[in-house]
Structure 1
Amino acid sequence: MSNVVNPAQPNDTVPGAEVNDEIVFDPKTSRRAVVSGTFGTALEWFDFAVYGTLSATVFPILFFPGFDANTAVLASFATFGAGMVARPLGGIIFGTLGDRIGRRDVLMITLVLMGISSVAIGLLPTYATIGFVAPLLLVILRFLQGFALGGESTGAQVLVVEHAPHGRRGLYGGFLATGSPLAQSFASLTLTGLALFLSEEAFNSWGWRIPFLMGVFLLVVGVFIRRRLEETPAFKENQRKAAAEAIPQERALAVLVKRPLTVIRLIGACAAMAALFWICVTYAVNYLTSILGYDNSVTFGILLIANVISIPAAIFGGWASDRIGRKKTFLLGLVLQAIAAATLFPIMNSMNLVATTAIIAVALCGIQINAGTQAAFFAESLPTSMRYTGSALGMTFGGLIFGAPIPFIAAWIFQNTENGTVALTTIALSIVALSMIATLTLPERFKQQLHEVN
């Protein structure tokens, strides 16, 4: 069935479907898009989360044994950043393809690529087996992970939002955003269980591989669901109008020529989410274990609880943005992140486990409120013909500029300054302020039909 209603047959629609102007939204297809996008997002972020956590704990030992402890941590965090560097490239390539040939087929490619590279990391020999080739291959596979994620994360958002009925775009995007905290929770639960039931020797030998190899099951389920998806109504309508009016296809990266300020604002809006997320889930792990002396199982448990608490925040963010607007909801998330940034290190230094868990949960709730709002907020900022590419550029460059360097910068600051907590807190609060300014300059279009954005 076509998603574009034929004016000569106004009743030829799916039972229960919602019609907005010329676009039909089939509830079954919309729900399938949410499930597909959430599975893909969960797979992507599960592998990303596992890598981020292990880069702070195990990888310095397994892949950089020739360095002293501090240098090994810096080197491990540098490989973590390789994935963030690859994300913009993936966003550009897959975003361009997605705007030209459609969202669905491109998202199948990104899902498979992410799954294969993650399983390969799980099978990768360590430095003790193949020497310097091990960290080299780790960087390459990490790069492929980031390359795939650059196309997947934004593409899934565009797919879900374009399938969502008007008035529920935020809510559908909020459900999609739960894929990240669900994956984080599952990753933390997996690592906590392994740390509890395996000896340190066993975990460092083979236990760390299990989470990466588990990704193959999520991959199989995700591919099965995604194969049954239809292309989005907004993309079909845009293609129909372009053919009827003989409109030439947009050139690659046309969004940088026609909407450069919008892309810059999207990058700025993403800045706080990117920075605070990696401070809380990557560097905080290293800080709690290496500096404060917590056991790995305790640290993983803190992240698990905080992530579980943050899951409803993503749905709330999407729901609230449909009612009070994207900007107000996004700013609420940023306020929570500012509170967390200002108090994170003093609370962790208090050695109070409950308080530490609570403040990390506050940070993640703020981030998830933003994530639940972001899919619709970013999609509404750009027309269909450049929505995938423009959103991908905003997300991936926000992560590259403000997220990727954070673990490395944090480790360097604490190794080379006497007031590391003050310096990192100042950086975090400055980034949150930047995101607030960028958010206020973006358009508010939550009441507008998505396919009418131009």
Structure 2
Amino acid sequence: MSELTNPVQAPPTAVADAPTFDPRIARRAVMSGTFGTALEWFDFAVYGTLSATLFPQLFFPSFDANTAILASFATFGAGMVARPLGGIVFGALGDKIGRRNVLMFTLVLMGASSVLIGLLPSYAVAGILAPTLLVALRFLQGFALGGEASGVQVLVVEHAPTDRRGLFGGILATGSPLAQTFASLTLTGLATFLSKDDFASWGWRVPFLMGVLLLVVGMFIRRRVEETPAFKESQKKAAESAIPQERALAVIIKKPGTVIKLVLSWAASTGLFWISVTYAVSYLTKQLHYDNSITFGLLLMANLISIPAAFFGGRLSDRIGRKKTFLIGLAMQGIAAGTMFPIMNSMNYPASAAIIAFALCGIQVTAGTQAAFFSESLPTTMRYTGSALGMTMAGLIFGAPIPFVAAWIFQNTSNGTLALTCIGLGLVLISVIATLSLPERYKQSLHQQH
């Protein structure tokens, strides 16, 4: 973090940034963004894990075991379906009225939805109302995250100097594995020290209710962050030239090819993330009969190991470029996709932990690069909306269906691991092709219009 305190100097080959960057405000933006990212992904991680283990029994007990797991994964997908809508709504608002104000609202909405999930009655108490409310709150969670995830990336990258946008984005990306680690640690501790009945009765609620404290701290940090220099400059130029602002979804009309490439470039990372984190939990517990506490512990180790990879990816991309770094992460994901299930089927616990950790490291290398890579592909007036669409549509198309599709494949085919391996490798190939077609602008100022 010491790099953030040094005087900001653009490299000789870079175009000098128009505004003057304040290192103090930049540090505050990174802290705010990382904390907000951790809060949102903590809630998503907890839900994803519980949807694979406990929620089928709590909210869908009237179904048989196979149908219950499919229904549970479908509620998980509801949050992913809502993300593109949130990305469009909050992205348009962020490009029109500013990043900071929009991100205050998304943080509150995300935290409130999570707390309410922790207060939900089970099916045994409220009947069909319980899963109905669960789906509604999951939708609100996803709606908020659709605007939050890309918004904090744009906020942080636009506060960064040209030669450290990757570094800033890499620090921000550590929020996700930190959240995954904290979520796994929390669930592992609860599953270890509570009886199965206590965990099913009230223990699972604890992580969601913790959102109250996290929300208060997050709001305190975020309200001290200023609007970004790039957005201020864009607004100033628009006022001086009397040019009307871009329409809310102008990026779809003017940059459709770029948006599609961003979606496809993120396909492997989002798809393999849910294979590694969400479906792997179900597979290890349901198919290989690992105990819940052992599975949670495995994910804890894997996520802990992957944290430095996000920082490494962002910093490396400042040196060799976004595309090369992104492709390194995708190569790691390809290796993991081809070997994950054979290794897990060996019932070797250390090897299973290692391959999931390797997969997450590959994902975090791309995640550490992605904030700067996506932001540099779009002009300021379309950056929030376009980045949000790239991330959220990838999640909807390539991420949300994965747990459901994987569960269906294993229930209806004789060789589900092979099918899921082929899906993973196919996603990697799609992302490699899309990444190669995107522009490389890591030395250009964000204030240049593309």
* TM-score of the pair, normalised by structure 2: 0.97
**2:365 is aligned with 1:369:** yes
| Separation in structure 2 between the aligned mates of residue 453 and residue 48 of structure 1, nearest angstrom | 35
Identical residues among aligned pairs (%): 75
What is the aligned partner in structure 2 of residue 47 from structure 1?
43
Aligned-pair CA distance for 1:16: 4.8
| Separation in structure 2 between the aligned mates of residue 127 and residue 43 of structure 1, nearest angstrom | 27
Change (3 A) 1:17 1:425: closer
What is the aligned partner in structure 1 of residue 230 from structure 2?
234
Cα deviation code 1:274-301 (max 9, x no counterpart): 1000001100000000110100000000
Aligned-pair CA distance for 1:15: 11
What is the aligned partner in structure 1 of residue 325 from structure 2?
329
Aligned-pair CA distance for 1:22: 2.7
1:49/1:187 contact within 8 Å kept = yes
What is the aligned partner in structure 2 of residue 5 from structure 1?
none
List structure 1 runs of 4+ shifted beyond 3 angstroms: 14-21
What is the aligned partner in structure 1 of residue 175 from structure 2?
179
Letter in 2 for 1:428: G
What is the aligned partner in structure 1 of residue 86 from structure 2?
90
Runs (5+) with no aligned partner, structure 1? 1-13
What is the aligned partner in structure 2 of residue 199 from structure 1?
195
SS of the residue corresponding to residue 452 of structure 1 reads coil
| Separation in structure 1 between the aligned mates of residue 301 and residue 362 of structure 2, nearest angstrom | 15
Within-5 A mapping of 1:161-172: 161-172=157-168
What is the aligned partner in structure 2 of residue 396 from structure 1?
392
| Separation in structure 1 between the aligned mates of residue 421 and residue 347 of structure 2, nearest angstrom | 18
2:261/2:437 contact within 8 Å kept = yes
Aligned-pair CA distance for 1:319: 0.3
**2:143 is aligned with 1:147:** yes
**2:275 is aligned with 1:274:** no
1:122/1:213 contact within 8 Å kept = yes
Letter in 1 for 2:265: A
SS of the residue corresponding to residue 308 of structure 2 reads helix
Aligned-pair CA distance for 1:453: 3.5
What is the aligned partner in structure 2 of residue 353 from structure 1?
349
What is the aligned partner in structure 1 of residue 67 from structure 2?
71
1:384/1:453 contact within 8 Å kept = yes
Aligned-pair CA distance for 1:247: 1.3
Cα deviation code 1:355-403 (max 9, x no counterpart): 0000000100000000000000000000000000000000000000000
What is the aligned partner in structure 2 of residue 38 from structure 1?
34
| Separation in structure 2 between the aligned mates of residue 286 and residue 276 of structure 1, nearest angstrom | 15
Aligned-pair CA distance for 1:17: 5.8
Letter in 1 for 2:368: G
1:18/1:24 contact within 8 Å kept = no
**2:99 is aligned with 1:103:** yes
Letter in 2 for 1:131: G
SS of the residue corresponding to residue 20 of structure 2 reads strand
Cα deviation code 1:326-374 (max 9, x no counterpart): 0000000000000000000000000001000000001000000000000
Aligned-pair CA distance for 1:170: 0.2
Cα deviation code 1:218-259 (max 9, x no counterpart): 111110000001000000011111111111100111000000
1:18/1:26 contact within 8 Å kept = no
What is the aligned partner in structure 1 of residue 58 from structure 2?
62
SS of the residue corresponding to residue 337 of structure 1 reads helix
What is the aligned partner in structure 1 of residue 13 from structure 2?
none
Which of 436, 440, 444 is 2:436 aligned to? 440
| Separation in structure 2 between the aligned mates of residue 293 and residue 21 of structure 1, nearest angstrom | 55
What is the aligned partner in structure 1 of residue 334 from structure 2?
338
1:94/1:106 contact within 8 Å kept = yes
| Separation in structure 1 between the aligned mates of residue 198 and residue 449 of structure 2, nearest angstrom | 55
| Separation in structure 1 between the aligned mates of residue 9 and residue 437 of structure 2, nearest angstrom | 32
Change (3 A) 1:339 1:54: same
What is the aligned partner in structure 1 of residue 448 from structure 2?
452
What is the aligned partner in structure 2 of residue 128 from structure 1?
124
What is the aligned partner in structure 2 of residue 412 from structure 1?
408
Which of 376, 383, 386 is 2:382 aligned to? 386
SS of the residue corresponding to residue 446 of structure 1 reads coil
| Separation in structure 2 between the aligned mates of residue 46 and residue 171 of structure 1, nearest angstrom | 22
SS of the residue corresponding to residue 233 of structure 2 reads helix
Aligned-pair CA distance for 1:409: 0.1
What is the aligned partner in structure 2 of residue 7 from structure 1?
none
What is the aligned partner in structure 1 of residue 22 from structure 2?
26
Change (3 A) 1:15 1:344: closer
1:95/1:389 contact within 8 Å kept = yes
| Separation in structure 2 between the aligned mates of residue 451 and residue 181 of structure 1, nearest angstrom | 31
Aligned-pair CA distance for 1:149: 0.3
1:288/1:299 contact within 8 Å kept = yes
| Separation in structure 2 between the aligned mates of residue 218 and residue 31 of structure 1, nearest angstrom | 19
2:266/2:391 contact within 8 Å kept = yes
Letter in 1 for 2:232: K
Letter in 2 for 1:292: L
| Separation in structure 2 between the aligned mates of residue 110 and residue 252 of structure 1, nearest angstrom | 18
Letter in 2 for 1:246: A
| Separation in structure 1 between the aligned mates of residue 8 and residue 194 of structure 2, nearest angstrom | 52
Cα deviation code 1:429-448 (max 9, x no counterpart): 00110000000000000000
Letter in 2 for 1:349: N
| Separation in structure 2 between the aligned mates of residue 114 and residue 379 of structure 1, nearest angstrom | 23
| Separation in structure 2 between the aligned mates of residue 450 and residue 260 of structure 1, nearest angstrom | 20
Aligned-pair CA distance for 1:109: 0.4
SS of the residue corresponding to residue 450 of structure 1 reads coil
Letter in 2 for 1:94: F
Which of 287, 301, 311 is 1:291 aligned to? 287
What is the aligned partner in structure 1 of residue 305 from structure 2?
309
Letter in 2 for 1:30: A
Aligned-pair CA distance for 1:18: 5.4
**2:413 is aligned with 1:421:** no
